[in-house]
Amino acid sequence: MIRFILKRLGSGLVVLFAVSVLTFFLLYISSGSIARNILGDQATPEQLAVKEAELGLDQPIVTRYFKWLTDALGGNLGASWFSSEPVANALATRIPVTMTMVFSAMILIAIVATLIGVAAAVKRGWVDRVVQIGAIIGDSIPGFVIGIILVTVLAIQLGLFPATSTISPGEPPSAWVLSLTLPVIALLINGVTGGAQQIRSAVIKQLERDYVRTLRSRGISEREVLFKHVLRSSAPAGLTVLSLQLIGMLGGVVIIEQIFALPGMGPLAVAATSQSDQPVVMGVVMYTVAVVILVNLVVDLLNGWLNPKVRAS
Amino acid sequence: MTESLESSPLTPVPGTTGQTGTVVRSTVLKRLFKNPLGILAIVILLAISLLAIFADVLAPFEENFANISKTLAAPDAVNILGTDSSGRDVWSRLLFGARLTLLSALLCAAVAIAIGLPAGLIAGYYAGKFEAVSNWVVSILMSLPGLIVLLTIRAAFGPSVWIAMIAFGVLISPSYFRLTRSAVQSVRNELYVDAARVSGLSDPRIITRHIFSVVRAPIIIQTAAIAGVAIAIQSGLEFLGLGDPAKATWGVMLSEGFKNVYLTPTLLFWPAFAMALTIGALVLLGNAIRDALEDGEKIKHRRKPAVKGTTTAPAAAAKRSARKTPAAVDAGTEHHLVKVTNLGVGYPQADGSLKKVVDDVSFHVDRGEILGIVGESGSGKSQTAFSILGLLPDTARIVAGSIQFDGNYTVAPGEELVSQERLSRLRGRRISYIPQEPMSNLDPAFTIGYQLVTPMVRVLGISKAEATKRAMKLLSDVGITYPDRTFKAYPHEVSGGMAQRVLIAGAISCEPDLIIADEPTTALDVTVQADVLDLIRDLQRSLGVGVILVTHNFGVVADLCDRVVVMQNGRLVEEGAVRDILRQPKELYTQTLLASMLEGKTPMSMLVSSQKEPVS
């Protein structure tokens, strides 16, 4: 077990390393005019040279990468080239906003999609048809368009929610809840419709398995068959879908934050990438990829717990 | 017919498979065009494509032509959908936007296919190092959050839709890779591919001829989905203002509308509508193709049962005479453990007709007696057994007759469904079941101990500790040498024979009055079969239960049963004491069945005699 976790963490680190190299070298392509972008058109060649030396841009790319790597391993992610704010600080103030949304959306998706998917699989009939149609509609409308519709109708036309966020560290939790409700709904609708569809077909497939009939023949109640056995065997399919949705959501949340003017990672990522603010971009990319790696690890562990056959290998 | 040819070993002759491939596709196409939603999707996509292609001709204005004196105007004769905040014509921009959006989706899908398909073919066909490396690359690509990467790409290469879509194509190529690889892996060792290899076809030819035809349809479905995702991502980037501002796209229009949401919210409507319509049509198209393919498979699967239902005229006539004879049952007054009277089971078909799988079957079982139900596959013997258990598939209907258990109706005359309320009180408690296939009948996620203990706790209401004690005893009773080890094991950790012993232990755990055994030895090795039959006989004798033994094997019947019911095509052919039927089968069908089953099966007949000896 511990060996499995260590092995997976090890391969996760390799992925992180590969991504960091790729990102760093990609950003290098656009780093030619950075000093001028920072100092403005009036800067003299001397000033530019000084700035480039200060940022280490006069060094060869490989040297710069290893400088970044050793600093990062020592816990220092550097500071923004434009605002001089330490990257760790910028991330620390924004991660709570983004991750609150992403993880509340994921938890809600898991619960709601399971309930709807199981209901559709067991009851069939109209519930099933509604879920199927819902899945098509959910697939047809991108999450950020749903966000725009929600803002327009519920916040601007009806005034039920704030159209732009009022959250900041000092605000009471109720303001957070009110500000985050619509963005979370926008994030989760695609996930619920898609997830319910997947869980529906997984449950239907499991219900047709032989062992279900044998359990019924043993006098086990329908409820226990469904919630203890069928749901457990359907869970790996659901978990895989959830983890893919989470990866997508880490990108989708960028646009949602823009729509709702939320001070999360999204605006930071957009600003940093459009300025080629290398330390910030590196920080954002590393953080998101690390989250994905951890989530995938958790999903694998859960799958092992759910399925003894996987555990053995 | 074409499907069966595809997988048959007779088709490997080069050239013919290509032909069958096209036949399959044309039937799928035919089915696709019968689906109204599929046609709707195709019509919408065609219409949008035509509008996009002829945008130059159809659009009344240039995409960036701005009439500054007429901003945020309502629709009128000149600007049929109104104008935006710079006075640009919404309809024209919508058309030019369609062109860019569709092209970018195509580019993205093309890049993803160009990378994913060949890589998947090679990895699936040759496996080895290439597969290991590509799996690693795939796992990296799949753990990258797409939009964040695209933002980084944009930082490196500037705001180009095309570069972004190429990058996204690369990011999403694993979906084609995995699809292709698993499809190829599943056919790689098919007989017709082997035969093609033996007949000297080169690998590239095998891949293009035989394997490509397998992945074609899934790839079309996948492409519909991916084009939709690409449109969403591309519009999202444009919405964030990260695209080329000189181009009209739906994303830019959404962003423009969102800025003016307080003044003219209708500006949001048109691009959002166009996007939802296009992606929706793609989703519907993908679903329709999938349905068309799956319907084909369903027909393929249904073909066999469909043959079962059709009774040939002479056979039916033969049985009609037999139907009258089963003596004791028709008299009706005797008290039997199970009494099945004129039972009919059918499945309503899509066209409104009813496919009968069991027709006018009557028999009875008494305590302490083993009744064999024998017949070839499709004779309705398992359906009859499941009717008694109340575990027919959801779609099955009781179309005639009744079933009584210990004097009470579980299916009263005229009832369409088995009463689950009545049977849930009997199942596990008084009627139990030994299935055919041991491995698939244990839940792989729970230990064997758990699956033995829980029914006892639920049904008998005893404590877990007591149930555990009983389970240990049961396991040793059914001949398992190390009960505690098996108790703790998961189903995948034991052999098939042991799993069947576990299932038998489960069947007797709550001291039932009736055990229904559905081909309990068919899936086992010959050597294990004898042991399991011995076990069933010994348990039946010591517990004094009634047993219904469903089998296709007259050897098993001769060995175990007291009486036997012979079924064919859902009807009862003959019924009587085993000895009589074996010696003097009255019906022709029974004679042929007997002859075909005993002929040339020396191991089985030896098995029968070797078991008779120790008992008698």
Whether pLDDT at A286 is above 60: yes
Contact B21, B213 (CB under 8 A): yes
Please provide the average confidence, as pLDDT, over all residues in chain A.
Answer: 86
Backbone angles phi, psi at B70, to 5 degrees: -135, 70
Report the C-alpha dihedral over residues B244, B247, B251, B253, rounded to 10 degrees.
Answer: 130
Nearest CA-CA distance, residue A8 and chain B, Å: 12
Percent of chain A with pLDDT over 90: 26
Tell me which chain A residues have a C-beta less than 8 angstroms from the C-beta of B382.
Answer: none
Tokens, residue B486:
């098996």
Over residues B151-166, the pLDDT tens digits come to 888 878 878 888 889 9
Task: Give the C-alpha distances (Å, rounded to integers) separating A72 from A19, A20, A279.
Answer: 14, 11, 10
Task: Check residue B466 and give its pLDDT.
Answer: 93
Over residues B299-330, the pLDDT tens digits come to 444 443 433 344 334 444 444 444 333 444 44
Which ranges constitute the DSSP H helices of B246-404? 250-259, 266-309, 313-324, 327-331, 381-389
Q: Is the dihedral of CA A236, A242, A244, A247 positive or negative?
A: negative
For the question of whether the overall pTM of this predicted structure is more than 0.90, the answer is no
Tell me which chain B residues have a C-beta less than 8 angstroms from the C-beta of A140.
Answer: 228, 276, 279-280, 283
Nearest alpha carbon to residue A90 among A267, A217, A239:
A267
What's chain A's Rg over C-alpha atoms? Answer: 24
Q: Is the Cβ of A148 closer than 8 Å to some Cβ of chain B?
A: yes
Q: Is the dihedral of CA A184, A189, A190, A194 positive or negative?
A: positive
**Cβ pair B155:A255 closer than 8 A:** no
Residues 413-442 (B) with a CB less than 8 A from some CB of A? 424, 427-429, 431-433, 435, 437, 440-442
Whether pLDDT at A232 is above 50: yes
Task: Check residue B312 and give its pLDDT.
Answer: 39
Residues 169-228 (A) with a CB less than 8 A from some CB of B? 209-211, 213-222, 224
Q: Is the Cβ of B262 closer than 8 Å to some Cβ of chain A?
A: yes
**Separation of alpha carbons B22 and B603, rounded Å:** 47
Tokens, residue B109:
């899908």
Tokens, residue B155:
């930082």
Reported ipTM: the value is 0.86
Tell me which chain B residues have a C-beta less than 8 angstroms from the C-beta of A308.
Answer: 444-445, 490, 492
B373 strand-pairing partners:
B550, B565
**Cβ pair A285:B148 closer than 8 A:** yes
Q: Is the Cβ of A292 closer than 8 Å to some Cβ of chain B?
A: yes
- Which residue on chain A is closest to B389 by alpha carbon? A217
Q: What is the 3-state secondary structure (H, E, C) of B184-232?
A: HHHHHCCHHHHHHHHCCCCHHHHHHHHHHHHHHHHHHHHHHHHHHHHHH
**Separation of alpha carbons A297 and B340, rounded Å:** 55
Tell me which chain B residues have a C-beta less than 8 angstroms from the C-beta of A18.
Answer: 140
**Separation of alpha carbons B162 and B249, rounded Å:** 13
DSSP B15: T
Residue B245: how many CB atoms within 10 A of its CB?
12
- Which residue on chain A is closest to B157 by alpha carbon? A30
Over residues A217-227, the pLDDT tens digits come to 998 988 999 99
Contact B428, A219 (CB under 8 A): yes
CA A253, chain centre distance (Å): 7
**Separation of alpha carbons B527 and B512, rounded Å:** 28
- Which residue on chain B is closest to A229 by alpha carbon? B443
- Which residue ranges in chain B fall short of pLDDT 50? 1-23, 299-332, 600-616
Place of tokens 């203002």: B241
Task: Check residue A313 and give its pLDDT.
Answer: 55
Task: Check residue A165 and give its pLDDT.
Answer: 67
Residues 391-410 (B) with a CB less than 8 A from some CB of A? 391
Environment class of B397 (CB within 10 Å of its CB; exposed 0-12, middle 13-18, buried 19+): middle
DSSP A230: I
Task: Check residue B331 and give its pLDDT.
Answer: 44
**Cβ pair B147:A281 closer than 8 A:** no
H or E stretch at B397: strand B397-405
Q: Is B334 helix (H, G, I), strand (E, B) or coil?
A: coil
Q: Is the Cβ of A296 closer than 8 Å to some Cβ of chain B?
A: yes
Environment class of B419 (CB within 10 Å of its CB; exposed 0-12, middle 13-18, buried 19+): middle
Report the C-alpha dihedral over residues B115, B116, B117, B121, rounded to 10 degrees.
Answer: 110
Nearest CA-CA distance, residue A174 and chain B, Å: 26
What's chain B's Rg over C-alpha atoms? Answer: 33
Residue A193: how many CB atoms within 10 A of its CB?
24
Over residues A7-63, the pLDDT tens digits come to 888 888 888 898 899 888 888 877 667 777 787 777 788 888 888 887 777 788 888
**Separation of alpha carbons A227 and A233, rounded Å:** 10
Task: Check residue A120 and give its pLDDT.
Answer: 92
| Strand bridging mode B563-568 / B370-374 | parallel
